[in-house]
A and B are shown apart, each in its own frame.
Chain A
Amino acid sequence: MTAVTLGRARPAVPRKYLPVLVTGALLAAMFVAGGVRYEGFAHGQVVLNVFIDNAFLLVVAVGMTFVILTGGIDLSVGAVVALSTMIAATLLRAGWPPLPVMALVLAVGATLGLAMGSIIHHFEIQPFIVTLAGMFLARGLCYTIGTDSVPITDPAFTALAQTRIDLVADLWISPSVLIALLVVLAAGYVLHYTRLGRTVYAVGGSEQSAVLMGLPVGRTKIAVYTISGVCSALGGLLLSFYMLSGYGLHAVGMELDAIAAVVIGGTLLTGGSGFVLGTVLGVLVLGLIQTIISFEGTLSSWWTKIFIGLLLFVFILLQRLITARRK
């Protein structure tokens, strides 16, 4: 499907870029509207703050993009994020050095993802159910480790949390943003320039065709859940830099935010079509909604949810129109 669209759409305006362009336009419109309406909004640091406050969500959403591109879904991401913060905080408190802790957290995330992917592929159980069980498992592990919030006092972690990387003028970002951007670049490279990435699109376009083409469908499906697991674990590390604590109730409902970001970014939930760049824009839109609501001051926090719901509706409708016209 992707290949066909590529060949046909080259000369005209590539239709597959339309959702991403619309999200980008929306983001720009939101920023301009905010800048006109609120004093101090039209400042580079406001945008950078959105990145700083959502670096962990960005990493998690990138992993989710891989899964959704194959037509699957991963409900366990929020729980894996929480588990990562919990493991990191507990081990650091026990006196482990930071590097082995980070390695172990990433390994745990990869193992969980690998296990879920393997069950989904080998035993043919729906991703929805398997990752749901994974979500219960990871949250359950969190509470088994401890029910209280564990503060992180490790110097390396606090340094990562407080370091400001100065850009031009008085603008700055946190190291987490750099890590998140690196993840985005790596994901973009993998999706568009490697065999694995192209197989991900092929599996999402039509799993049956991919099998008939001789593509390693099973391996790819297991790989995307592993990638999502690693991304969630990394997201968990970034969250523990951000919060400087580990807690079983961190990141409740983050799977929804990640899925919403991916959908707003123009990725089809049926799989096979979408871009990591779209996901980045989706995360930014979600972050900017929160920024606007905090600038507005009088709006209560639940308006965030209502706006996100509305945006989801608009974008899904748009996608529907685009896919309908393609037929």
Chain B
Amino acid sequence: MTRRLLWPLLVLALLLALNVAVNPAFLAVQIKDGHLYGSLVDILRFGAPLILVSLGMTLVIATGGIDLSVGSVVAISGALACLQISQDAGVFTAVAVALALSLALGVWNGFLIAGVGIQPIIATLILMVAGRGLAQLVTDGQIITVNSPSYKLIGGGYLLAVPFSVLLVLAVLAVTAFLTRRLALGMLIESVGGNAEASRLAGIRSRGIVVTVYAFAALCAGIAGLMISSNVSSADGNNAGLWIELDAILAVVIGGTSLAGGRFSLGGTVLGALIIQTLTTTVYSIGVPPETTLLFKALVVAAVCLIQSPAFRAKVFRRRGRPAAEPAPEKKAEVPA
């Protein structure tokens, strides 16, 4: 393991240890009714959509971009799939249509960024705002409830005792890891993130790469949307995937991928997403009142980000070395006007 993953691993271990201290049976995994059952399985199962979205986000951030629209894509994909199923379409058709639309939305984002040259944060802001409206348009402002056992499998079912959603995540992770770490794609993505213009001059089709990563991010979000809506057997255009983009960006940053682009760590992202999900579980299991969940989250996020900031480490370290030094010396010399 690289040193970059050390801090996230430590935080995750700490969170798990905290859980075990409160509830010694926390790590136990049993088989009930032929299903794996236990807190750890729950963390994986409930964290599956976030991990997926974060994986897509990792590649986007590696190119130096950001995708704010994933939450809306989650809502649209779930809404469309549920709408199709409620209109008696086959589950397979519904899933295919929803994923195709997600892919198209991703290509749209990619086109705005690579083709038109709009800043990623704004280009995806458009879809983030309009997408929520679109999702509500699809569901007509209602919550569509579906009753389809085969659709339920995606987010709530089990295959060979393992939650199907976890298997799905593992498959996507394996494919992504293979494509980016065994083929040249990962290096190309990093080079575009390092310097898009230089990589274009070096003969890399940076536009194609950018469109690809946004399409991939939207596809991941689409699958996550299917999972979320299938888990609760309903689609809520207003609240499905709300703020998941922020959690995903956090997961990526906690995992050690720089928002500036140029390098990424899939393992770190998975760790980051697991930390966020474990945090939520921890809040419930150690009896922190649910009202303070966000407060707790803010503190952990701040701590992780501060620990990872080189500037913070340098300053704290320097101060410890010279106790008499003034607090946080001003870095930039100020010239009197």
Residues of A at the B interface (CB closer than 8 Å) are 73, 75, 119, 122-126, 128-130, 132-137, 139-141, 143-144, 147, 195, 211, 214, 216-219, 256, 259-260, 263, 269-270, 300-306, 308-310, 312-313, 316-317, 320, 324
What's the Cα separation between A124 and B258 when bound, in Å? 12
What's the Cα separation between A132 and B118 when bound, in Å? 23
Interface residue count for B (Cβ, 8 Å)? 54
What's the Cα separation between A132 and B32 when bound, in Å? 40
Per a CB cutoff under 8 Å, which of B131, B237, B253, B292 touches A309? B131
6 other contacts beyond A130-B305, A143-B293, with CB at 8 A cut-off?
Answer: A124-B310, A132-B301, A140-B293, A219-B334, A302-B132, A324-B117
- The answer on a CB contact under 8 Å between B291 and A217 is no
Q: Known contacts A125-B306, A306-B133: does B298 contact A211 (CB below 8 Å)? A: no
What's the Cα separation between A301 and B331 when bound, in Å? 49
- The answer on a CB contact under 8 Å between B312 and A302 is no
What's the Cα separation between A153 and B118 when bound, in Å? 48
B198 within 8 A of A: no
Q: What are 25 A-B contacts defined by CB distance under 8 Å?
A: A122-B311, A123-B311, A125-B305, A128-B249, A129-B249, A132-B246, A136-B295, A137-B294, A137-B295, A140-B298, A143-B294, A214-B337, A216-B332, A259-B125, A260-B125, A302-B132, A302-B237, A303-B133, A305-B130, A306-B130, A306-B133, A309-B127, A310-B130, A312-B126, A312-B129
Per DSSP, chain A at the interface is: helix
- The answer on a CB contact under 8 Å between A309 and B133 is yes
What's the Cα separation between A31 and B256 when bound, in Å? 49
Closest to A306 in B: B133
Nearest chain A CB to B115 CB, angstrom units: 11
B7 within 8 A of A: no
Nearest chain B CB to A18 CB, angstrom units: 17
- The answer on a CB contact under 8 Å between B129 and A308 is yes
Question: B309: which A residues are within 8 A, CB to CB?
Answer: 123-125
Per DSSP, chain B at the interface is: helix
- The answer on a CB contact under 8 Å between A302 and B133 is yes
Nearest chain B CB to A301 CB, angstrom units: 8
Question: A125: which B residues are within 8 A, CB to CB?
Answer: 305-306, 309, 312
Question: B131: which A residues are within 8 A, CB to CB?
Answer: 309
- The answer on a CB contact under 8 Å between A129 and B116 is no
Per a CB cutoff under 8 Å, which of A122, A136, A144 touches B328? A122
Nearest chain B CB to A172 CB, angstrom units: 32
B134 within 8 A of A: yes
What's the Cα separation between A28 and B306 when bound, in Å? 48
- Find residues 299-337 in chain B having any chain A CB closer than 8 Å to their own CB: 299, 301-302, 305-306, 309-312, 315, 328, 330-335, 337
